[in-house]
Protein backbone atom coordinates (compact mmCIF):
# COMPACT_ATOMS: atom_id res chain seq x y z
CA UNK A 1 0.00 0.00 0.00
CA UNK A 2 1.49 3.34 -1.03
CA UNK A 3 1.53 6.39 1.22
CA UNK A 4 -0.81 9.23 0.35
CA UNK A 5 0.53 12.75 -0.20
CA UNK A 6 0.13 15.99 1.72
CA UNK A 7 -2.92 17.04 -0.33
CA UNK A 8 -4.80 13.89 0.65
CA UNK A 9 -3.87 14.40 4.31
CA UNK A 10 -5.07 18.03 4.16
CA UNK A 11 -8.36 16.89 2.60
CA UNK A 12 -8.83 14.36 5.39
CA UNK A 13 -8.20 17.02 8.04
CA UNK A 14 -10.43 19.55 6.27
CA UNK A 15 -7.62 22.10 5.80
CA UNK A 16 -7.97 24.76 3.11
CA UNK A 17 -4.24 24.79 2.33
CA UNK A 18 -1.37 22.35 2.38
CA UNK A 19 2.38 22.53 1.78
CA UNK A 20 4.02 20.43 -0.89
CA UNK A 21 7.76 19.90 -1.07
CA UNK A 22 7.59 19.66 -4.87
CA UNK A 23 7.68 22.92 -6.86
CA UNK A 24 4.72 23.82 -9.06
CA UNK A 25 4.99 24.22 -12.85
CA UNK A 26 6.36 27.75 -12.46
CA UNK A 27 8.88 26.67 -9.82
CA UNK A 28 7.16 27.99 -6.68
CA UNK A 29 7.49 26.06 -3.44
CA UNK A 30 4.56 27.57 -1.53
CA UNK A 31 1.18 26.75 -0.08
CA UNK A 32 -1.33 25.06 -2.33
CA UNK A 33 -5.10 25.11 -2.27
CA UNK A 34 -6.40 21.76 -1.04
CA UNK A 35 -9.50 21.58 -3.25
CA UNK A 36 -7.70 22.26 -6.54
CA UNK A 37 -4.02 21.64 -5.84
CA UNK A 38 -3.29 25.10 -7.27
CA UNK A 39 -0.17 26.94 -6.11
CA UNK A 40 -1.12 30.06 -4.12
CA UNK A 41 1.68 32.13 -5.70
CA UNK A 42 0.61 31.14 -9.23
CA UNK A 43 -2.96 32.08 -8.41
CA UNK A 44 -1.85 35.48 -7.11
CA UNK A 45 0.18 36.09 -10.29
CA UNK A 46 -2.77 35.17 -12.51
CA UNK A 47 -5.09 37.45 -10.54
CA UNK A 48 -2.58 40.32 -10.85
CA UNK A 49 -2.27 39.75 -14.60
CA UNK A 50 -6.05 39.66 -14.99
CA UNK A 51 -6.45 42.82 -12.93
CA UNK A 52 -3.79 44.77 -14.86
CA UNK A 53 -5.27 43.66 -18.18
CA UNK A 54 -8.64 45.27 -17.35
CA UNK A 55 -8.92 46.82 -13.84
CA UNK A 56 -12.47 48.12 -14.29
CA UNK A 57 -13.78 44.74 -15.40
CA UNK A 58 -12.06 43.01 -12.47
CA UNK A 59 -13.47 45.49 -9.95
CA UNK A 60 -16.95 45.05 -11.42
CA UNK A 61 -16.70 41.24 -11.17
CA UNK A 62 -15.48 41.37 -7.55
CA UNK A 63 -18.19 43.86 -6.57
CA UNK A 64 -20.88 41.75 -8.26
CA UNK A 65 -19.72 38.61 -6.42
CA UNK A 66 -19.56 40.45 -3.10
CA UNK A 67 -22.99 42.02 -3.56
CA UNK A 68 -24.51 38.65 -4.41
CA UNK A 69 -23.12 37.05 -1.24
CA UNK A 70 -22.58 40.04 1.09
CA UNK A 71 -24.69 38.80 3.98
CA UNK A 72 -23.23 35.30 3.74
CA UNK A 73 -19.68 36.74 3.78
CA UNK A 74 -20.44 38.98 6.77
CA UNK A 75 -22.03 36.09 8.66
CA UNK A 76 -19.05 33.84 7.93
CA UNK A 77 -16.70 36.51 9.32
CA UNK A 78 -18.87 36.99 12.42
CA UNK A 79 -19.00 33.21 13.02
CA UNK A 80 -15.23 32.84 12.62
CA UNK A 81 -14.63 35.72 15.01
CA UNK A 82 -17.12 34.40 17.56
CA UNK A 83 -15.58 30.92 17.41
CA UNK A 84 -12.05 32.08 18.19
CA UNK A 85 -11.51 35.85 18.59
CA UNK A 86 -7.84 35.44 19.56
CA UNK A 87 -7.07 33.44 16.40
CA UNK A 88 -8.81 36.05 14.24
CA UNK A 89 -6.87 38.80 15.97
CA UNK A 90 -3.59 36.97 15.34
CA UNK A 91 -4.47 36.51 11.68
CA UNK A 92 -5.20 40.24 11.37
CA UNK A 93 -1.91 41.06 13.09
CA UNK A 94 0.05 38.79 10.74
CA UNK A 95 -1.68 40.25 7.68
CA UNK A 96 -1.00 43.77 8.89
CA UNK A 97 2.63 43.00 9.70
CA UNK A 98 3.13 41.46 6.25
CA UNK A 99 1.56 44.48 4.51
CA UNK A 100 3.74 46.91 6.49
CA UNK A 101 6.83 44.90 5.56
CA UNK A 102 5.93 44.89 1.87
CA UNK A 103 4.86 48.57 1.70
CA UNK A 104 7.27 50.67 3.82
CA UNK A 105 6.85 53.87 1.78
CA UNK A 106 3.06 53.71 1.88
CA UNK A 107 3.10 52.93 5.60
CA UNK A 108 5.39 55.88 6.30
CA UNK A 109 3.21 58.20 4.22
CA UNK A 110 0.10 57.11 6.13
CA UNK A 111 1.88 57.61 9.47
CA UNK A 112 3.05 61.10 8.49
CA UNK A 113 -0.46 62.00 7.31
CA UNK A 114 -1.95 60.83 10.62
CA UNK A 115 0.65 62.83 12.57
CA UNK A 116 -0.08 65.93 10.49
CA UNK A 117 -3.83 65.52 10.96
CA UNK A 118 -3.38 65.08 14.72
CA UNK A 119 -1.24 68.23 14.83
CA UNK A 120 -3.90 70.17 12.90
CA UNK A 121 -6.55 69.01 15.36
CA UNK A 122 -4.55 69.91 18.48
CA UNK A 123 -5.67 73.37 19.57
CA UNK A 124 -3.23 75.81 21.17
CA UNK A 125 -5.11 75.58 24.49
CA UNK A 126 -4.75 71.77 24.74
CA UNK A 127 -2.99 70.48 27.86
CA UNK A 128 -0.19 68.51 26.18
CA UNK A 129 1.32 67.31 29.47
CA UNK A 130 -2.02 65.77 30.50
CA UNK A 131 -2.33 64.10 27.08
CA UNK A 132 1.18 62.59 27.37
CA UNK A 133 0.36 61.41 30.91
CA UNK A 134 -2.89 59.85 29.64
CA UNK A 135 -1.02 57.93 26.91
CA UNK A 136 1.63 56.71 29.37
CA UNK A 137 -1.09 55.52 31.80
CA UNK A 138 -2.73 53.27 29.21
CA UNK A 139 -3.37 49.81 30.75
CA UNK A 140 -1.92 46.74 29.10
CA UNK A 141 -4.17 45.30 26.38
CA UNK A 142 -5.89 48.66 25.84
CA UNK A 143 -5.52 51.44 23.27
CA UNK A 144 -5.93 55.18 23.69
CA UNK A 145 -8.92 56.07 21.56
CA UNK A 146 -10.46 59.35 20.43
CA UNK A 147 -14.17 59.35 21.33
CA UNK A 148 -14.78 61.63 18.35
CA UNK A 149 -12.33 60.38 15.69
CA UNK A 150 -9.75 62.80 14.32
CA UNK A 151 -10.60 61.87 10.74
CA UNK A 152 -14.18 60.63 10.91
CA UNK A 153 -16.43 60.47 7.87
CA UNK A 154 -19.33 62.39 9.45
CA UNK A 155 -17.86 63.87 12.64
CA UNK A 156 -14.32 64.84 13.61
CA UNK A 157 -12.98 65.71 17.05
CA UNK A 158 -10.00 67.47 18.55
CA UNK A 159 -6.86 65.98 20.02
CA UNK A 160 -7.60 67.08 23.60
CA UNK A 161 -7.71 65.21 26.91
CA UNK A 162 -11.52 65.38 27.04
CA UNK A 163 -11.74 63.44 23.76
CA UNK A 164 -9.51 60.54 24.88
CA UNK A 165 -10.54 57.23 26.42
CA UNK A 166 -9.05 53.80 27.09
CA UNK A 167 -10.63 51.00 25.07
CA UNK A 168 -9.75 47.30 24.95
CA UNK A 169 -7.62 46.75 21.85
CA UNK A 170 -10.22 44.61 20.07
CA UNK A 171 -12.98 47.16 20.70
CA UNK A 172 -10.82 49.98 19.39
CA UNK A 173 -10.03 48.04 16.22
CA UNK A 174 -13.73 47.35 15.73
CA UNK A 175 -14.63 51.00 16.29
CA UNK A 176 -11.98 52.04 13.77
CA UNK A 177 -12.59 55.61 12.56
CA UNK A 178 -16.21 55.98 13.65
CA UNK A 179 -18.09 57.78 16.38
CA UNK A 180 -20.31 55.36 18.28
CA UNK A 181 -22.81 57.26 20.44
CA UNK A 182 -23.52 55.61 23.77
The one-character DSSP state at 163 is: G
Model confidence at 3: pLDDT above 90: no
**pLDDT tens-place string over residues 84-102:** 878 877 888 899 999 999 9
- What is the domain partition of the chain in residue ranges? 6-62, 122-182
What pTM, to 2 d.p., does this model score? 0.52
The overall average pLDDT reported for the chain is 89
pLDDT > 90 fraction of the chain, expressed in percent and rounded:
53
Catalogue the E-assigned strands of 54-182.
142-146, 164-168
**pLDDT tens-place string over residues 32-50:** 999 988 999 999 999 999 8
Amino acid sequence: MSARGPRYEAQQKGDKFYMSDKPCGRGHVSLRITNTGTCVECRKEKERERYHADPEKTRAIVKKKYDAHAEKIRQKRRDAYAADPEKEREICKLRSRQWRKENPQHRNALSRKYDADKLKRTPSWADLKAIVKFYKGCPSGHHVDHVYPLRGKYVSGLHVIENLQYLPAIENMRKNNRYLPA
